[in-house]
C-alpha cells in the first residue's frame, strides 16, 4: 500500500500541494541550495509554480510513480525541505531519490533521517530491490548523507550535471534490499 505520509523520530514527510508554493520557491531560490542543483533557480514564483504543478499532479496519479514530499521537522513541524522518490517500471524494482534541505536546517541530521525513512519505505512498502541517488562530486554534504545510511559509491559519471558553475562529474550511489541498512 502506497502511503502519502512518512514519519520518523523528528520528521514528517507529506506529499506536496500547491499551498507549499511559497516555501518551495524560497527553498529553490537559495544560492546555497542551487549550487549543486541542475534544475536551476526559478526567476519568479510563477516559474516555480510551473515547475511544481506536475509534481503535485504526479502525486495524485495512482499508483504514484513520482513521489514529492515536503519535509516537516523540528519542534515547530515547519517545512524544512523537499524529498523525491521516482520509481522505475515494476520489472526493475528501482527507485531514485533526491532531496533539498533549506540551508537554515543544514547540519542537523535532517537529510540523513529523511533518506533513511524513504529507503525503508522503498524496501518495506514499495518492494524495491534497489534505491539509487546521484550526487555532484564536490557536494561533500550530500556525499556524507548518502554514505551515513549505507549507500555504496558505484561509479563516477563524467561531466553529467549542468550546474551554474559548469559541467560537473556525478557520483552514483545505491543500496540494495539485501544490503545492511544502518540505523541512525
**Residue 26 dihedral angles phi and psi, to the nearest 5°:** -60, -45
- The answer as to whether 170 is a domain residue is no
**pTM for this entry:** 0.93
Q: Is residue 60 part of a domain?
A: yes
In a domain, 144, yes or no: no
The count of structural domains within the chain is: 1
Please classify residue 64 by burial: count the beta carbons closer than 10 Å to its beta carbon, then call 0-12 exposed, 13-18 middle and 19+ buried. Answer: middle
Q: Residue 115: give its domain's CATH number.
A: 3.40.630.30
The gap from C-alpha 164 to its chain's centroid, in whole angstroms, comes to: 20
Residues 6+ apart with CB under 8 A from 133: 96, 97, 98, 146, 151, 172, 173, 174
What range does the domain containing 114 cover?
5-128
Task: Judge whether 179 lies within some domain.
Answer: no
Q: What is the pLDDT of residues 151-168, one digit of tens each?
A: 999 999 999 999 988 999
- Residue range 18-44: average pLDDT? 92
**pLDDT at 1 > cutoff 70:** no
Does residue 164 belong to any structural domain of this protein? no
User: Does 15 reside within a domain?
Assistant: yes
Of 60, 133, 140, which is closest to residue 107 (Cα–Cα)?
Answer: 140
Question: Are the beta carbons of 116 and 162 closer than 8 angstroms?
Answer: no
Contacts of residue 76, Cβ cutoff 8 Å, sequence gap at least 6: none
User: Has residue 166 been placed in a domain?
Assistant: no
Residue 148 maps to a domain = no
**171: how many CB neighbours lie within 10 A of its CB?**
21
Across the chain, what does the average pLDDT equal? 92
Q: What would the mean pLDDT of 94-110 be, rounded to a whole number?
A: 96
Q: So what's the pLDDT on residue 25?
A: 97
Amino acid at each position: 500500500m502506497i502511503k502519502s505520509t512518512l514519519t520518523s523520530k523528528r520528521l514528517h514527510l507529506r506529499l506536496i500541494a500547491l499551498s507549499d508554493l511559497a516555501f518551495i520557491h524560497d527553498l529553490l531560490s537559495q544560492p546555497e541550495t542551487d549550487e549543486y542543483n541542475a534544475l536551476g533557480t526559478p526567476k519568479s514564483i510563477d516559474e516555480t509554480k510551473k515547475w511544481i504543478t506536475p509534481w503535485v499532479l504526479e502525486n495524485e496519479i495512482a499508483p504514484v510513480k513520482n513521489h514529492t514530499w515536503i519535509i516537516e521537522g523540528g519542534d515547530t513541524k515547519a517545512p524544512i525541505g523537499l524529498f523525491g522518490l521516482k520509481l522505475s517500471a515494476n520489472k526493475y524494482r528501482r527507485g531514485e531519490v533526491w532531496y533539498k534541505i533549506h540551508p537554515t536546517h543544514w547540519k542537523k541530521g535532517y537529510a540523513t533521517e529523511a533518506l533513511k525513512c524513504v529507503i525503508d519505505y522503498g524496501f518495506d512498502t514499495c518492494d524495491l530491490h534497489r534505491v539509487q541517488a546521484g550526487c555532484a562530486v564536490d557536494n561533500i554534504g550530500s556525499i556524507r548523507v548518502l554514505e551515513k545510511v549505507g549507500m555504496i559509491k558505484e561509479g563516477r559519471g563524467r561531466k553529467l550535471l549542468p550546474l551554474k558553475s559548469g559541467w560537473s562529474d556525478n557520483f552514483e550511489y545505491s543500496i540494495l534490499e539485501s544490503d545492511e541498512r544502518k540505523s541512525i
